[in-house]
Amino acid sequence: MTLSNLNLEVKKKCFLLICILVGCVTFAQNHNAISCEKFKINLQIINADTGLIKLNYFGCDGNGKTINAQLNKGQISFEGKVNRATQALLMLDPNEQDLDAPSMLRIILEPGETNISCTFNPNKKEVLNLNITGSISQNEKQTWEQDNAVALKARQFDTITKLVAKYVSKHPDSYFSAYLLDLYQNKFIIDSLIGYYGQLNYAAQNSSFGQSVLDYLFAKGGTTFRDKFDYNNLNNRLKNINGLFDVTLKDKLDNDVNLSVFKGKPSLLFFWGSWCVPCHRVAPFLDSVKRKIPKDAVNIISISLNTNNTEWLNSLEKHHIPGTNLIDKDNILRMYYGFLAVPHIVVVDAKGMAVNKNAPSPDDPELIVLLKDVLKNERGFNNDML
């Protein structure tokens, strides 16, 4: 049996799935706490000889990574580095459109060697006789999901959050505990999530899962949480920001750009990242947005949340990202505006104050309506001028 190449739509959906599950990047990562260690996955598909298999995961820098490899006599190995533990997606069937299908194997990836064996039925799209060994966290995940299958299948989130809380309290040193908090973070009230995060040990807090929870709390937990759990001095920096024009970012030539240069006109801020397939899809719609409003009436500023200049610049060469391109390596604006995932749009007025922190996507006609309303209020444009 031969497994063919993934089509483009499946690629997009799979990257989007990972963004939903884990967060597109651990934005405000505590770089002093990163432990970058090697992993190896040995995969054997018993009834397959050749074909393409893809592994998606998050690397030590928090950015999405992809490894493509070909089966050889039913066997394949993947190697890389991760920060303690992270989510990974093994895609076995290149023709599968359903991301909940068994052929999409979601695993907890941690340092060391993990062995996976299975039989794959391409007609029924089933993975049979799945066996995963070598990963402590993955074994914990499988046991917990089996023990709580009824609540999980029924999506009984009140029950699930209680089960998560019980597990975290009993296993504060487990990466799987951090995984559970990350997976269900938006199902907890903030104060409860802060408490359970605080129970995790140092390693779990600083795994990719723990960093994602911390990132969520830093955006949603308010100043009390930030004062207690500040890292990378972000809280002090945020306290000095009263609006967009108090921030300085870098341009493509590594020059400092104080955003006060955009005073006098409303600004549309398009936040994106090189790893984000949906960002690449919607970014070109910004050209259409520019055509439907008066020329030069609004600043279009595309802000990458990459932590690596090379990945950002390489992505700009591959993809059309309109507007003035800047990079926010520390994600200070994402923290300031309090959003979690990209793509994301913020609209600010001519004084640099937010008009809408969760504006419509560039491919949504409502964004044009919003910008025209801002121009009417800010610059006295009338309907004839618009």
Tens of pLDDT, residues 266-294: 999 999 999 888 999 999 999 999 999 99
170 and 117 in a single domain? The answer is no
Instruction: Write the pLDDT tens digit of every residue in 338-358.
Output: 887 899 999 999 999 999 999
Please check whether residues 189 and 275 belong to one and the same domain: no
Helices 157-170, 190-199: axis angle to 10 degrees equals 30
Same domain, 256 and 230: no
Using omega within 30 degrees of 0 as the cis cutoff, is the peptide bond preceding 111 cis? Answer: no
CATH number at residue 327: 3.40.30.10
pTM over the 0.85 mark: no
Same-domain pairing of 150 and 70: no
Q: 251 pLDDT exceeds 70?
A: yes
Instruction: For the chain, give the number of residues.
Output: 386
Residues 229 and 249 in one domain: no
Residue 385 within a domain? no
300 and 191 both lie in a single domain: no
Give the single-character DSSP code of 284: T
Same domain? For 152 and 265 the reply is no
**One domain, residues 235 and 248:** no
Instruction: With CA atoms as reference, report the closest residue to 319 among 359, 356, 293, 285.
Output: 285
Residue 158's domain comprises 146-239
Q: What local confidence, expressed as pLDDT, does residue 233 receive?
A: 65
Residue 14 is predicted with a pLDDT of 43
Confidence of residue 5 (pLDDT cuts 50, 70, 90): very low
pLDDT computed for residue 126 by the predictor: 81
Task: With respect to residue 153, please indicate whether it lies within any of the assigned structural domains.
Answer: yes
Q: Which amino acid is at 247?
A: V
More reliable by pLDDT, 167 or 127: 167
User: Of the candidates 310, 344, 341, which has an alpha carbon nearest to the alpha carbon of residue 327?
Assistant: 310
Q: Is the domain of 330 the same as that of 225?
A: no
Residue 166 lies in a domain: yes
Tally of domains within the chain: 3
Residues 355 and 252 occupy one common structural domain? yes
Q: Which range (62-66, 182-186, 220-224) has the least confidence?
A: 220-224
Residues 178 and 277 in one domain: no
Contact 55, 24 (CB under 8 A): no
Q: Same domain, yes or no, for 117 and 235?
A: no
Residues 336 and 331: their CA atoms lie apart, in Å, by 9
